[in-house]
Chain A
Amino acid sequence: MGLGAYVAVSAALFALGLVAILARRNVIYILMGIEMILNAANINFVAFNRFGTMQLDGQMFAIFTIILAAAEAAVALAIVLNVFNLFDSVKPSEADLLRE
């Protein structure tokens, strides 16, 4: 298995995440999509590190990304709770105050 396999998995994961973000009507799914995209990026980091000439830079970035994802999930869930309190809904199409 070469680099291509890893990249393919990563690309698939990315595409799934993107679809979840763009097409889903529930904000929880959108969050899950974001997590998938972040993980796709993680796979790329680790794979390119493995097949490249770097030392442990990719892994380091991956760990950072995981921490970032955890933090982002905490913040995002808090936002979701507030959005729900405000709009009585978790549908992103109804929270359109950004237009103002």
Chain B
Amino acid sequence: MRRYVTNPMIIKELRQRLRERRSWLLPTLYLIVLSGIVVCVYYFSIDADRHLRGAEVQGADIGQAVFVAVVLTQIIVLLLMGPVFSSGAITIEREQRTLAGLLTSLLTAPQIWWGKFVAALLYLLLLLASAIPLLALPFAFGGVEPLDLVKALGSTILTLASICTVGLWCSATFRRSVHATASCYAIVLVLTIVTAIAFGMLYAHWQQGHPGTPGPPPHIQAPLFLNPLYPLLTLIDEGDFRFYVYPVSSWLLFTALGCLAAAFAMRRLQHSGEQL
């Protein structure tokens, strides 16, 4: 176990990653985008509240709107960045001809995988952590509880970890970074858009037979369990949102997806000497 904590791959990966120009450029752009969203949502909420309630503006409404907007924007942006950091991790070693050196050292395939995984996830967590002040801003307005923040961050971290393992599996499977990254983006698209479309079709069909029923049952929601945005729907005020969301099902499925992708990636990595 100690070998995985003091893994030299983690230090090497982080060192190389933080030397890249994008290591400071991306967090800057990321925070600019999130700050822009906060400002837009703030003014939009004030405007909307004034239209609904006249001169009276509810701080809780603004707080909740800002929080949901930041959380959703954050996961969408990180889902776009996750494949960039994970799906090139092993292919770059192959392309630079450095994988043979790693495989003939005393590092095991799980150690190499773990080093790549931790480094990719840690960078995404750095982005996540850098946005915590923006996420904490709604507490000043009210309408959001600390538990909401914990649930949102926990769910985002779990989803990103799963996406990183999928990216690493793509990276271990394909010879070239461009193919691995494209495949990983295709999987992310399937998880976010295709599951939503599948749910929409099932829901429409189900609703015809159950008019007036407040929310769809779990089996109708099932395609959404693999949608990265689904567990975050619990953050939306239940008064306005008609569904009863089952976040645990989603968390379990993402954990299973992550474990499966990790197992396949390590297996591919063990046999990657044949691709050198």
Q: Do A and B come from one complex?
A: no
* B residues apposed to A, CB below 8 Å: none
